[in-house]
Chains A and B, each alone.
Chain A
Amino acid sequence: MRQTIVRNVAELPTYGYGPRSGPWWGAMGFMALEGMGFAIAIGAYLYLYAVNPTWPIGASPPDLWPGTAETVIYLLSIIPNEYTSRVAHRQDLAKVRICLIVMAAIGIALLVLRGFEFAHLNTRWDNSAYGSIVWLILGLHTTHLATDVGDTVVLAVLMFTRHAKPRRFSDVTDNVFYWNFVVLAWLPLYVLLDWIPRL
């Protein structure tokens, strides 16, 4: 087939931010399906809650302080997270490095707190269906938290190497985007795990 050139795209940029870029949509896709995973798990919790006359089963509700402390930190973490996004858009390498270290530290602190939360659930996974679903949901969210912390640490290291090139700033903004998802996913889970058993 004969080809007729009708347009030249040589002047287009080689990377972009947000919905212009491919990886952003990839992250969006994975957040959608992981969000569905959370929704299903919440559905399973509410199903078990509905079919059981007593809730929680054979245990007292989880202690409030670890989950509440996490929630506060999650909400506050949005501030440095959004700041990271801004300096990444400005391609300010020095500040991006500091921000990534701060975000990695926040993530690690939350992982430690998460350990305390497991210890203060006041039930084991094999006690009852209540214990099982609580451990499953918390475990599911912890996987997301750990994944994002791992990603943040790797990115932080990357930005100190010779690979810290402009297109990596787009990766940093995608990481920021995913952290917001981890925070957003936590909020309904906090209500579900810590407050529903107190109803």
Chain B
Amino acid sequence: MSMAAEPNELRDDVLNGLQLSTQLEKVWRTPSGLVGALMSVDHKVVGRRYIVTAFAFLLLGGILAILMRVQLAGPEKTFLSADKYNQIFTMHGSTMMFLFAVPVMEAFAVYLVPLMVGTRNIAFPRLNAFSYWMFLFGGCFLWISFLFNAGPDVGWFSYVPLSSLQFTPTKRADVWAQMITFTEVAALAVAVEIVVTVFKLRAPGMTLDRIPLFVWAMLVTSFLVMFAMPSIMVASTSLILDRLVNTRFYDSSSGGHPLLWQHLFWFFGHPEVYIIFIPGTGMVSAILATFVRRPVIGYPIVILSLIATGFLSFGLWVHHMFVTGLPQLGAGLFTASSMLIAVPSGLQIFCWLATLWDGRPVYRTPLLFVIGFVVIFVLGGLSGVMVASVPIDTQVHDTYFIVAHFHYVLIGGAVFPLVGAVYYWFPKIAGRMLSERLGRWNFWLAFIGFNVAFFPMHILGLIGMPRRVYTYTADMDWAHLNLLSSGGALIFALSFALLLVNVIYSLRKGELAGDNPWNASTLEWATSSPPPPQNFDRIPVVKHRDPLWADSESLPVVAGLSAERREILLTSLAEAEPQIREASPEPSIWPLLAAIATTVFFIGSIFTPWAVLWGTPPMAVTLIGWFWPAGSKEDEE
């Protein structure tokens, strides 16, 4: 099995400096031209596309939010019809959850994890490209359907029987269900890539207790994706089968049961919240350490909290179903588990506060967003503990109190860290700094706008305003708070416009970043900004949890990898001992073709079950083309 190095192969131990960089760039770069771009398997290229696409969907979802806030700004407005409103709130929720929140977190992982663990590309780079195309096509499918008035209108959780054929005879619910299939395929693929990247591609010496906290967070998230998303795939498939070929999963007259849908949906839907939140905590840990100039206090506590949160997140789903008439024992159990999960989250918060207390904080924009996160997320956590209790939940179920609660949790827990992360890692990705002045405006507009928009919703919910109503009458006395909320939403939207302006401006005019503008400690800052196609000229060796703080002058590295073909270093799971020099795939057009074939299959199958038959051979052909050795040197050893 041992394949000792061919003596005549060019290796990185005989080249140095510029010569080595140039040679590796030639080997690892994405081919030029349009076809070349479509073939790219570079995790940075795919990651960048993923991030930009997810933010484009954020923009679209945000526009829908503004439309809703305009409609609700006063009583009995006719800006949107009831039907349009139904489509818009469904599209807003589905876009934000499936096309923005989950993908954007995975996108950051796709870009950053390989750099942070010190390798040259993600594990299974072609699968990674495939994943991006599936995500893009699924998102476009949803939005194009919406533009043709076939957008889903049954809520982002698409409850049966409303979404069954009897009550939604149009294609709208099918579009929703199949969009789910697209995005889950994409998310599952990335999850497996991240797990294998973290398990096997870590730089030598990066033992389990030296993995950066952001990478730990993405590892836990990936496991959550792997164990939560199959549930929604079973759910969306069975819904489509009910609608298309008359299966009876949800038909109570033939032994089916509508609550089965809610169980399947929320068994995915609750971990989903943590799939969005846990990456946010990873971003917080990374940003915090850098800007308070010390490692996060309680590294093992933070990791164990992440893992505990991951496990507990699978035991909460029924708290979304308290009003469905569950046995009391069940309700009690899920109340207890819902309160229990506050414990690991609380532990992390205390670790961060202690870090902040003990450090020397430098209040740059990323840190401002982290502090905004702590404030808003704690508020959302408090209302979460409230609705974990059955009597309160029964009172406020389906009211604006719930809308307020989950926006505090999701925007506080994920979007604030995310925007902080944009300010933090933009210099690495783009090579230029974002404007600090615009950044401060961005933060304060976001913080004030968010609270003005969403805090009044708590009160609106408590005084009885239900969710998903397209208007209300003047005598309900909801008008002032709604107007206030709409004003806040505009300010909040303005903060994102400012972010966009900042990005566009800084891409051209921003100050040059250099390798490590924040003097951070993790490996992504040990290479140039933006990183070259090979990420590192030589693979780093890790001897410390904060390698760049331990020695800011020199980087210990390994040599001996090929300099004439794509080769990466595989290391052992726990100790990260070098094991194998493995070939890494070349660029290929097959992932795109496979994604196109899969798209035809998925979209075809909502119109005719026969698509399963005629759609399969093209998929099989593209997959065989994908895996068949191309005859290149690394395939032939």
Residues of chain A whose beta carbon lies under 8 Å from any beta carbon of chain B = 1-17, 19-22, 25-26, 29-30, 32-34, 36-37, 39-41, 44, 47-48, 51-52, 57, 125-133, 135-136, 150, 154, 158, 163, 165-167
State A34–B582 Cα separation when bound (angstroms).
Answer: 26
At the interface with chain A, which of B279-287, B427-435, B554-562?
B554-562
Q: Which of B195-220 contact A (CB under 8 A)?
A: 195-196, 199-201, 204
- B227: interface (CB < 8 Å): yes
- Inter-chain contact B526/A22, CB cutoff 8 Å: no
At the interface with chain A, which of B58-66, B107-115, B231-239?
B231-239
At the interface with chain A, which of B247-255, B331-339, B400-408?
B247-255
- Inter-chain contact A22/B267, CB cutoff 8 Å: no
- Inter-chain contact A41/B247, CB cutoff 8 Å: no
Provide the residues of chain B in CB contact with A7, threshold 8 Å.
Answer: 204, 541, 558-560, 578
Q: What's the nearest-Cβ distance from chain B to residue A122, in Å?
A: 15
Interface 1/0s, chain B 292-312, versus A by CB < 8 A?
000000000000000000000
- Inter-chain contact A29/B557, CB cutoff 8 Å: no
Q: What's the nearest-Cβ distance from chain A to residue B189, in Å?
A: 9
Q: Which of B248, B255, B637 contacts A167 (CB 8 A)?
A: B637
State A1–B260 Cα separation when bound (angstroms).
Answer: 58
State A13–B1 Cα separation when bound (angstroms).
Answer: 7
For residue A167, which residue of chain B has the nearest CB? B637
Provide the residues of chain B in CB contact with A163, threshold 8 Å.
Answer: 628-629, 631, 635-636
Provide the residues of chain A in CB contact with B254, threshold 8 Å.
Answer: 57, 127-129
Provide the residues of chain B in CB contact with A136, threshold 8 Å.
Answer: 234, 237-238, 241, 247, 249
Q: Which of B475-506 contact A (CB under 8 A)?
A: none
Q: Name 13 A/B residue pairs within 8 A (Cβ), A-sorted.
A: A10-B13, A13-B2, A21-B582, A22-B570, A25-B195, A25-B200, A32-B226, A33-B192, A33-B227, A33-B230, A47-B263, A48-B255, A136-B241
State A33–B195 Cα separation when bound (angstroms).
Answer: 12
Provide the residues of chain B in CB contact with A57, threshold 8 Å.
Answer: 254-255
For residue B624, which residue of chain A has the nearest CB? A154
Provide the residues of chain A in CB contact with B5, threshold 8 Å.
Answer: 10-11
- Inter-chain contact B255/A52, CB cutoff 8 Å: yes
Provide the residues of chain A in CB contact with B635, threshold 8 Å.
Answer: 163, 165, 167
State A133–B526 Cα separation when bound (angstroms).
Answer: 53
Known A-B contacts A9-B561, A26-B123; the reply to A4 vs B226 at CB < 8 A is no
- Inter-chain contact A47/B13, CB cutoff 8 Å: no
- B519: interface (CB < 8 Å): no
Provide the residues of chain B in CB contact with A8, threshold 8 Å.
Answer: 13, 558-560
- Inter-chain contact A37/B560, CB cutoff 8 Å: no
Q: What's the nearest-Cβ distance from chain A to residue B267, in Å?
A: 7
Q: What's the nearest-Cβ distance from chain B to residue A31, in Å?
A: 10
For residue A38, which residue of chain B has the nearest CB? B230
Provide the residues of chain B in CB contact with A39, threshold 8 Å.
Answer: 230
Q: Which of A4, A22, A30, A37 contacts B555 (CB 8 A)?
A: A4
State A52–B248 Cα separation when bound (angstroms).
Answer: 13
- B105: interface (CB < 8 Å): no
Q: What's the nearest-Cβ distance from chain A to residue B76, in Å?
A: 43
- Inter-chain contact B556/A12, CB cutoff 8 Å: no
For residue B232, which residue of chain A has the nearest CB? A40
Q: Which of A11, A16, A21, A29 contacts B560 (CB 8 A)?
A: A11
- Inter-chain contact B581/A44, CB cutoff 8 Å: no
Q: What's the nearest-Cβ distance from chain B to residue A46, in Å?
A: 11
For residue B536, which residue of chain A has the nearest CB? A3
Interface size of B by CB at 8 A reads 78
Provide the residues of chain A in CB contact with B231, threshold 8 Å.
Answer: 36, 40
Q: What's the nearest-Cβ distance from chain A to residue B187, in Å?
A: 10
- B106: interface (CB < 8 Å): no
Q: Which of A5, A29, A51, A150 contacts B538 (CB 8 A)?
A: A5
Residues of chain B whose beta carbon lies under 8 Å from any beta carbon of chain A = 1-5, 11, 13, 123-124, 188, 191-192, 195-196, 199-201, 204, 226-227, 229-231, 233-234, 237-238, 241-242, 245-249, 251, 254-257, 260, 263-264, 267, 515, 526, 537-538, 541, 553-561, 567, 569-570, 572-573, 578-583, 620, 624, 627-629, 631, 634-637
State A34–B185 Cα separation when bound (angstroms).
Answer: 12
State A156–B305 Cα separation when bound (angstroms).
Answer: 47
State A135–B634 Cα separation when bound (angstroms).
Answer: 43
State A26–B128 Cα separation when bound (angstroms).
Answer: 13
- Inter-chain contact A129/B256, CB cutoff 8 Å: yes
For residue A133, which residue of chain B has the nearest CB? B249
- Inter-chain contact B637/A40, CB cutoff 8 Å: no
State A126–B5 Cα separation when bound (angstroms).
Answer: 61
- Inter-chain contact B234/A41, CB cutoff 8 Å: yes
State A11–B11 Cα separation when bound (angstroms).
Answer: 12
State A2–B570 Cα separation when bound (angstroms).
Answer: 24
Q: Which of B4, B192, B515, B526 contacts A30 (CB 8 A)?
A: B192
Q: What's the nearest-Cβ distance from chain B to residue A111, in Å?
A: 14
- Known contacts A6-B541, A37-B234, A126-B246; can you find 16 more A-B pairs with CB under 8 A? A3-B538, A7-B559, A10-B561, A11-B4, A12-B579, A14-B583, A22-B582, A25-B199, A26-B123, A33-B230, A44-B249, A129-B247, A129-B254, A129-B256, A154-B627, A165-B637
Provide the residues of chain A in CB contact with B13, threshold 8 Å.
Answer: 5, 8, 10
- Inter-chain contact A1/B526, CB cutoff 8 Å: yes
For residue B528, which residue of chain A has the nearest CB? A1
Among all A-B residue pairs, the 10 with the closest Cβ atoms: A10-B560, A129-B255, A132-B247, A29-B192, A37-B230, A129-B256, A126-B246, A2-B554, A9-B560, A8-B560
Known A-B contacts A15-B637, A26-B124, A129-B257; the reply to A40 vs B234 at CB < 8 A is yes
Q: What's the nearest-Cβ distance from chain B to residue A86, in Å?
A: 14
State A34–B237 Cα separation when bound (angstroms).
Answer: 14
- Inter-chain contact B569/A9, CB cutoff 8 Å: yes
For residue B246, which residue of chain A has the nearest CB? A126
State A25–B198 Cα separation when bound (angstroms).
Answer: 11
Provide the residues of chain A in CB contact with B238, threshold 8 Å.
Answer: 44, 132, 136
- Inter-chain contact A36/B573, CB cutoff 8 Å: no
- Inter-chain contact B581/A126, CB cutoff 8 Å: no
Provide the residues of chain A in CB contact with B572, threshold 8 Å.
Answer: 20
- Inter-chain contact A47/B636, CB cutoff 8 Å: no
- Inter-chain contact A22/B260, CB cutoff 8 Å: no
Known A-B contacts A6-B541, A126-B246; the reply to A26 vs B196 at CB < 8 A is yes
Q: What's the nearest-Cβ distance from chain B to residue A165, in Å?
A: 5
Q: What's the nearest-Cβ distance from chain B to residue A91, in Å?
A: 8
